[in-house]
């Protein structure tokens, strides 16, 4: 799935592989001093999951800057009393409807004049107003921070990489099954192909689909994020399929573009340009590489071929607990790649009224290179 820009600024941090929630909270604690904060309340539910293991729909975590993790707390409401005990056994749980308010009170009770960081990029203005107007305990100062947990999440540990890899394998296998039984063929609708692909992923063991599956045939393939319709696949069409699975909370993201019957010269031409660009982008991935340089490695091939204006999005994005997360890899990106980042590489060329091609893999940055977790063939396949 393509994305326009980096969702979060990058945060430098120690490059350690954190396997359990307590060590993730310790890593966050290590970042709080630089923001002159005594503690942080995290309410973004994806970040709550990352820092605690808890997957409920209402929750927040209080993380202290101290090295002693014994004062960290999680708050959720009464629906999740047993779930939070099972999923976050190392955290004392506070049961309350307003999770942020109860954690703020907890922080204020432990230390007077406490300075509490909060996620400026997750809290709404209305929530902030509510917090600061009525519920604010005396002596508490709020410190806005951005992207701290998202920065930690960029470096995946071995268990996270294994989950992304499993999600990628589910996608690979589901697509292979569809191809094997000629389910991507003239006479079928985009919608039917999408639903069959999703059914394959579920039946292979996916927890969920990663996002709304894109199946785009003929001129629809020139629309980067086309939604499947009742359009019927026809001979000569490009069929662009962008999809993914979720396994144990982690997402995969891949795109393959097929052609139905013998391709026209223009189809072979743009396919080979995108394929070459995609290979160059993958080859440019390594720890420490500037994300804009990775984008450029692929983009310059498409520009040199004369299709720069028909490549309308960034090269890729991080993928993990969310389908789009840090880092962004685009022409205007400012960060560098971290060892253990799982990212997509997905250049495309889109010719309005005719058709388009995108090829996308999910890879893990691994020292001086990257390893693809997507294994489906990349050469043009004629169905
Ligand atoms: Zn995709
Ligand atoms: Zn993508």
Tens digit of pLDDT for each residue in 228-270? Answer: 999 999 999 999 999 999 999 999 999 999 999 999 999 999 9
Two structure tokens written together for 222: 């020139």
Which of the four pLDDT bands, split at 50, 70 and 90, describes residue 8?
A: very low
Q: Is residue 11 over pLDDT 80?
A: no
- For 87-104, write each residue's pLDDT tens digit: 999 999 999 999 999 999
Interval between CA 46 and ligand 2 midpoint (Å): 19
In terms of Cα–Cα distance, which of 348, 351, 275 is closest to 315?
A: 348
Could you tell me where in the chain the CATH 3.40.350.10 domains are found? 21-153
Q: Which residues surround ligand 1, an ion (CB under 5 A)?
A: 1, 242, 253, 255, 360
Q: Which ligand ends up closest to the CA of 241?
A: 1
Higher pLDDT, 86 or 125: 86
Interval between CA 199 and ligand 2 midpoint (Å): 20
What is the structure's pLDDT at 134?
Answer: 67
Q: Which ligand ends up closest to the CA of 211?
A: 1
Supply the pTM of this predicted model.
0.93
Cα–Cα distance measured from residue 209 to residue 197, given in angstroms and rounded to the nearest whole number: 10
Interval between CA 360 and ligand 1 midpoint (Å): 6
Burial class from Cβ neighbours inside 10 Å (0-12, 13-18, 19+) for residue 134 reads exposed
Please give the average per-residue pLDDT across 23-49, as a whole number: 97
Mean of all residue pLDDT scores within the chain: 94
Interval between CA 52 and ligand 1 midpoint (Å): 28
Interval between CA 373 and ligand 2 midpoint (Å): 14
Interval between CA 183 and ligand 2 midpoint (Å): 23
Q: Is residue 15 over pLDDT 80?
A: no
- For 138-186, write each residue's pLDDT tens digit: 889 999 999 999 999 999 999 999 999 999 999 999 999 999 999 999 9
Q: Which ligand ends up closest to the CA of 316?
A: 2
- Domain 158-382 grouped into CATH 3.90.230.10: yes
Q: Which ligand ends up closest to the CA of 3?
A: 2
Q: Is residue 49 over pLDDT 80?
A: yes
What is the structure's pLDDT at 216?
Answer: 98
- For 102-125, write each residue's pLDDT tens digit: 999 999 999 999 999 999 998 888
Interval between CA 219 and ligand 2 midpoint (Å): 21
Please give the average per-residue pLDDT across 221-232, as a whole number: 97
Q: Which ligand ends up closest to the CA of 323?
A: 2
Interval between CA 225 and ligand 1 midpoint (Å): 9
Interval between CA 316 and ligand 1 midpoint (Å): 9
Interval between CA 346 and ligand 1 midpoint (Å): 7
- For 300-355, write each residue's pLDDT tens digit: 999 999 999 999 999 999 999 999 999 999 999 999 999 999 999 999 999 999 99
Could you tell me where in the chain the CATH 3.90.230.10 domains are found? 158-382
Interval between CA 254 and ligand 2 midpoint (Å): 7
In terms of Cα–Cα distance, which of 267, 300, 268 is closest to 281?
A: 300
Interval between CA 243 and ligand 1 midpoint (Å): 6
Residue 175: other Cβ atoms inside 10 A: 22
Q: Which ligand ends up closest to the CA of 212?
A: 1
In terms of Cα–Cα distance, which of 160, 204, 132 is closest to 19?
A: 160
Interval between CA 231 and ligand 1 midpoint (Å): 21
Interval between CA 312 and ligand 1 midpoint (Å): 14
What is the structure's pLDDT at 3?
Answer: 64
Interval between CA 376 and ligand 1 midpoint (Å): 14
Contact of 76 with 99, CB cutoff 8 Å: yes
The conformational region for residue 334 under phi > 0 = left, psi -120 to 50 = alpha, else beta, is alpha
| Fold observed for domain 21-153 | Creatine Amidinohydrolase; Chain A, domain 1 (3.40.350)
- For 174-219, write each residue's pLDDT tens digit: 999 999 999 999 999 999 999 999 999 999 999 999 999 999 999 9
Q: Which ligand ends up closest to the CA of 344?
A: 2
- State the distance between the two ends of the chain, measured CA to CA, in whole angstroms: 23
- Find the helix or strand (DSSP H, E) in which 362 lies: strand 361-366
């Amino acid at each position: 799935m393509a994305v326009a820009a980096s969702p979060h600024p990058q945060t430098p941090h120690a490059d350690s592989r954190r396997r359990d929630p307590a060590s993730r909270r310790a890593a966050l604690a290590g970042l709080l001093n630089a923001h002159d904060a005594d503690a942080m309340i995290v309410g973004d539910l994806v970040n709550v999951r990352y820092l605690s293991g808890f997957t409920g729909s209402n929750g927040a975590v209080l993380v202290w800057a101290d090295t002693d993790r014994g004062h960290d707390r999680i708050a959720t409401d009464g629906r999740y009393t047993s779930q939070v005990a099972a999923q976050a056994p190392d955290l004392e749980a506070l049961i309350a409807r307003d999770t942020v308010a109860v954690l703020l009170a907890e922080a204020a009770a432990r230390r007077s004049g406490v300075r509490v960081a909060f996620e400026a990029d997750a809290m709404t203005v209305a929530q902030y107003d509510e917090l600061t107007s009525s519920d604010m305990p005396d002596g508490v100062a709020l410190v806005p921070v951005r992207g701290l947990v998202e920065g930690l999440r960029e470096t995946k540990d071995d268990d996270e990489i294994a989950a992304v890899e499993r999600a990628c394998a589910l996608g690979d296998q589901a697509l292979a099954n569809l191809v094997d039984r000629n389910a991507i063929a003239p006479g079928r609708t985009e919608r039917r192909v999408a639903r069959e692909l999703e059914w394959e992923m579920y039946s292979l063991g996916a927890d969920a689909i990663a996002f709304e599956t894109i199946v785009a045939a003929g001129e629809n393939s020139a629309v980067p994020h086309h939604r499947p319709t009742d359009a019927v696949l026809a001979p000569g069409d490009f069929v662009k399929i962008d999809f993914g699975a979720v396994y144990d909370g982690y997402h995969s993201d891949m795109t393959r573009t097929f052609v139905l019957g013998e391709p026209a010269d223009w189809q072979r031409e743009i396919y080979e340009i995108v394929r070459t660009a995609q290979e160059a982008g993958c080859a440019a991935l390594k720890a420490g590489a500037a994300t804009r340089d990775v984008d450029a490695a692929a983009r310059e091939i498409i520009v040199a071929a004369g299709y720069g204006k028909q490549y309308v999005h960034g090269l890729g994005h991080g993928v993990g607990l969310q389908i789009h997360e840090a880092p962004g890899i685009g022409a205007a990106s400012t960060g560098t790649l971290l060892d253990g980042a799982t990212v997509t590489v997905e250049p495309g060329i889109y010719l309005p009224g005719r058709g388009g091609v995108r090829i996308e893999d999910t890879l893990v940055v691994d020292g001086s290179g990257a390893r693809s977790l997507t294994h489906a063939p990349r050469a043009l396949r004629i169905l």
